[in-house]
Amino acid sequence: MTGFLVKRFLQALVVLLLVSIIVFVLLHLLPGGPARAILGPKGTAQQIARFNELQGYNKSLPLQYFDYLGRLFHGDLGLSYKLNQPVSDLLAERLPKTLVLTALATLLAVVVAVPLGLLQAVRRGKISDYLLTAGAFLAYATPVFFLGLILIIVFSQTIPIFPSEAPQGETVAGIFSGFSGMVLPIVTLALGIIAMFSRYMRSATLDNLTEEYVRTAMAKGQSSRRILARHVLRNAIIPLVTLLGLYLPTLFSGALVVESMFNYPGMGLLFWNAAQGSDFPVLLGVTLVVGVATVLGSLLTDIVYAVLDPRIRSVS
């Protein structure tokens, strides 16, 4: 197990290094360079030269990259030229709120999708299986923004149960103080995940129901419910563990749309506003954080995968 963890950790470090290189290259691929992109078309040659000198962009690229790494290790992601605040402070303020939104949406998706997938597998070919499959395909194929619009029209305007705007608290506690405003964003983000997870769960359950250990358990007289709960569920849920770790970029893209629709003060809304205002330090800072989160999520997935299935450790 130790060798497996060390190997995966070293691989994660290499990928993190590659992520930092990609973000660094993106910064230098901005039209006209970082100085022109930030100062705009009216920036004079003297202003650009002075900016490059102050920011260290007049050095060679290798030296710039090592300076960039040094700033990253100290938590310096640059300065937002639109908000006049350090990017690290903006992310520290917004990231917990996005984590709360995505975590609650994912938790809701797993709690709903796992029983749905099991039910579809057990009742394969029945009318309930067809109805749930059709609903899953419809939810998965519908864009997130359209799902959000439908929920707003139905549950905020036609039947005014929930507000159409998310709570605007500055802290996570402030967000929870107006939790009714969180219902529609969470459900909007969770619907597409439920559709995909339930399909994976159905497929994995059907595969496991044909295994020898299921027939052996049935031959021993165990009930179908006991076999599903104690044997099939643990093996069928392994693909979902992998999916959860690799689904982080998709979750963020969904959160970006949901946060902009419901005016939720998270990292997705920060990214959207930065894109609207060409605030490149914020855009690159968010990109770096999402890349790091994806790598760490993949590493965590490998660890949980190995715990659930010891065979993975023996072949890795």
Give the pairing type, strands 79-80 and 85-86. Answer: antiparallel
| 104: pLDDT strictly greater than 80 | yes
Residues of the chain with pLDDT > 90: what percent? Answer: 0
Sequence letter at residue 30: L
Mean pLDDT of 170-185: 81
- d(C-alpha 274, C-alpha 81), whole Å: 10
Q: Which helix (H) or strand (E) holds 110?
A: helix 87-122
Domains of the chain by residue range: 88-203+239-315
Q: Is 225 exposed, middle or buried (0-12, 13-18, 19+ CB in 10 A)?
A: exposed
DSSP per residue over 251-263, as a string?
A: HHHHHHHHHHHHT
| 315: pLDDT strictly greater than 60 | no
End-to-end CA separation in angstroms for the chain: 10
6-10 contact pairs (CB < 8 A, 24+): 7/316, 8/299, 8/302, 8/303, 8/316, 9/299
| 269: pLDDT strictly greater than 80 | yes
What pLDDT digit, counting tens, does each position of 207-265 carry? 877 777 777 777 777 777 777 777 777 777 777 777 776 677 667 777 888 888 888 88
| 163: pLDDT strictly greater than 70 | yes
Mean pLDDT of 300-307: 71
Contact in structure between 83 and 90 (CB atoms under 8 Å): yes
What pLDDT digit, counting tens, does each position of 32-48 carry? 667 776 676 777 777 77
* Joined tokens for residue 160: 């005014």
What pLDDT digit, counting tens, does each position of 54-96 carry? 777 777 778 888 888 888 888 788 778 777 788 888 888 888 8
Q: What's the pLDDT at 245? A: 67
CATH architecture assignment, domain 88-203+239-315: Orthogonal Bundle (1.10)
